[in-house]
Chain A
Amino acid sequence: MARATTDRPASRADVSDLPNLDVRRASGSRDPLLLTLLPAIVVVAIIGGWEAWVRIAQVKRYLLPAPSEVARALAAEPLRYLDAAATSLGAALGGLLIATLGAFALGVVMAHSRALERALYPPALLLKVMPIVAVYPLFLIWFGFGIWPRVLIAALITFFPVLVNTVIGLRSIDPQAHDFLRALHASRSQIFWRLRLPSSLPYLFAALRISVPLSLIGAVVAEFLSGASGMGQLILVANGDFDTPALFGAVIVLATMGVSLTVGISYLERRVLDWHDSYRGV
């Protein structure tokens, strides 16, 4: 799809998450370096203020550790965090992958047949409204304490957004382009590959952006419930020990994972969808 990759202004990526602020226009001719650094400056200010407050007010360590303490906790056992992060990430991404493939395949079927859509939508909806955490004990009985119950929880949580977006996306074709292809007696598969699939990509990326954090939540919650290894277990243990710096460390690791994945998806999206209205002519 990404047959041409247009070069974008460097500042584009940094402000893309602040669509309504229009930082660039407001700043006029001001230093673009400042704009790039602005978010970093805010983060540093928050951390500095936190550190200062904890030290000056002498807040108790188990209530709110200073950032330096959190950093020390992370630095003391980096492998423990990395190991747990890798386990959780594997479960989350494994689940997301299974859900994306399955939901996309099902979405293709549903987008092509109203009858099948009617037949399959209620069970799919059931998956969505069901409190997925409640079936976890069942998964433990079925699949044991390995990684599979966690993978399945992550998959179940992310399945529905991908399915719905796939169906909507595959149907969101330009009727004139569709007419043109039909007038040429294009086959269903020609229409699928040349029109439906590319048209659905913006929706698929929207689904992924929703699903990535959901898959992490699914994996971590599953680890809470079963005490299986991973970030969830790390948090449980830290909690039991009143080791609040380790707890904060775990939260920071999880946040970093979520942010990295989201940034990765956004990068891929900008590459693949450089033709799309939302990225064009900036």
Chain B
Amino acid sequence: MVAARASHWKAPLLVATLPLPPAAVGTPAVEVLDLSHRYASAAGEVVALEHASLRVAAGEFVSIVGPSGCGKTTLLRAVAGLLAPSGGEVRVLGGAPRDAQRAHALGLVTQDPGLLPWRSVEANVRLPLEITGATADVSALLERVGIARFARYRPGQLSGGMRQRVALARALAHGPRLLLMDEPFGALDELSREDLRLELLALWERERIAVLFVTHAIHEAVLLSDRVVVMSGSPGRVAADIAIDLPRPRTDDLISTPRFVALDAEVRAALRGSAPATRGAR
């Protein structure tokens, strides 16, 4: 799947040799079945997730939207193998999340990008290559996300938007087959958000790796995704799963089309319907 589409690239970035057996085209990138997670806190037991299920097909872009505290991040962390859920099953690329980690098949972008402040931009992007032993053309990758001229800067010298570009390049460097993004643009100003959104869209439409994207911006989810999974508040469950049948490649212009507006309204309604009256203000 990935190899077939890599030909669209000017510079082949995904040249990493993955030890994972070549997955059949039909193998879903993510399958979450009946996932539950509860943990003890000072205030008693917290139910973060209850019977959540979702699926991301190979090469599909799926967003999760939901109010704060609905378990979106918990779900993403379970998919990344960073958290052992208390119930249910998570399969990533046909195996356990740990297997996907081992195969270096995951790329992670978080709201606070967690770049290493002592490394230059370039060295930050090289980090996953050092860990995995994969090779990639780092300067082409930096070019691709528009940060080539900041290659020698430290993260502390960059704006939030630029840092997220570095995080995106870093997440893609080792050639992952599943990109996990947890509110990657959440801390940015509106203009930077817009830029990065379009950048991600263009990048994904060329590369077509599976993406699981957590956000609470509804129009962002609609613009980017093939499907939008709406989660309800505590305890987190999946309230709706809405297919976004907008044509691709997509651009900013779509936002004003009737179909976009209708889908946006549908997601909004699913969110409102899922939220108890007391938390409607969110």
Contacts and interface: CB of A to CB of B under 8 A. Distances in A.
Interface of A: 1, 3-4, 174-186, 190, 194-195, 198, 275-277, 280-281
Given A190-B131, A277-B156, A184 B116 contact: no
A194 B156 CA distance: 18
Interface in B95-154: 98, 101-102, 104, 106-108, 110, 112-118, 120, 123, 127-128, 130-132, 152, 154
Given A183-B82, A183-B106, A174 B118 contact: no
Contacts of B132: 184
Given A183-B180, A275-B154, A198 B101 contact: no
B29 interface: no
B275 to A, nearest CB: 28
Given A183-B108, A190-B131, A281-B156, A195 B101 contact: no
B110 A198 contact: no
Given A182-B82, A183-B80, A175 B114 contact: yes
- Most-contacted residue by chain B among A3, A185, A281 (CB, 10 A): A185
Contacts of A276: 117-118
B112 A176 contact: yes
A196 to B, nearest CB: 11
Nearest to B81: A183
Contacts of B114: 174-180
Contacts of B107: 183
Nearest to A176: B114
Contacts of A174: 112, 114, 116
Nearest to B170: A180
B72 interface: no
Contacts of A181: 127, 131
Contacts of A180: 108, 110, 114, 170-171
Q: Is the interface of B mostly helix, strand, loop or mixed?
A: mixed
B174 interface: yes
30 contacts: A3-B123, A175-B114, A177-B115, A177-B116, A178-B114, A179-B80, A179-B108, A179-B110, A180-B108, A180-B171, A181-B131, A182-B82, A182-B101, A183-B81, A183-B107, A183-B180, A184-B101, A185-B98, A185-B101, A185-B102, A194-B127, A194-B131, A198-B118, A275-B117, A275-B154, A275-B156, A276-B118, A280-B156, A281-B156, A281-B157
A221 B171 CA distance: 56
A186 B115 contact: no
B120 A4 contact: yes
Contacts of A190: 130-131
Nearest to A178: B114
B82 A184 contact: no
Interface of B: 77, 80-82, 98, 101-102, 104, 106-108, 110, 112-118, 120, 123, 127-128, 130-132, 152, 154, 156-157, 170-171, 174, 180
A175 B83 CA distance: 13
Given A174-B116, A190-B131, 8 more contacts: A3-B123, A175-B114, A177-B115, A180-B110, A180-B171, A194-B127, A280-B156, A281-B157
Nearest to B111: A176
Contacts of B104: 184-185
B122 to A, nearest CB: 11
A184 B156 contact: no
A80 B206 CA distance: 77
A184 B131 contact: yes
Given A179-B110, A183-B81, A183-B106, A194 B116 contact: yes
Nearest to A277: B156
A207 B279 CA distance: 48
B131 A1 contact: no
Contacts of A186: 131
A280 B153 CA distance: 12
A281 to B, nearest CB: 7
Nearest to B102: A185
B19 to A, nearest CB: 11
A137 B34 CA distance: 69
Q: Nearest 6 A-B pairs (CB), nearest first? A: A176-B114, A177-B114, A185-B101, A275-B118, A183-B108, A176-B110
Contacts of A182: 81-82, 101
Given A179-B80, A183-B82, A195 B116 contact: yes
Contacts of A280: 156
Nearest to A193: B130
- Most-contacted residue by chain B among A179, A182, A194 (CB, 10 A): A179
B118 A1 contact: yes
A4 B119 CA distance: 9
Contacts of B157: 281
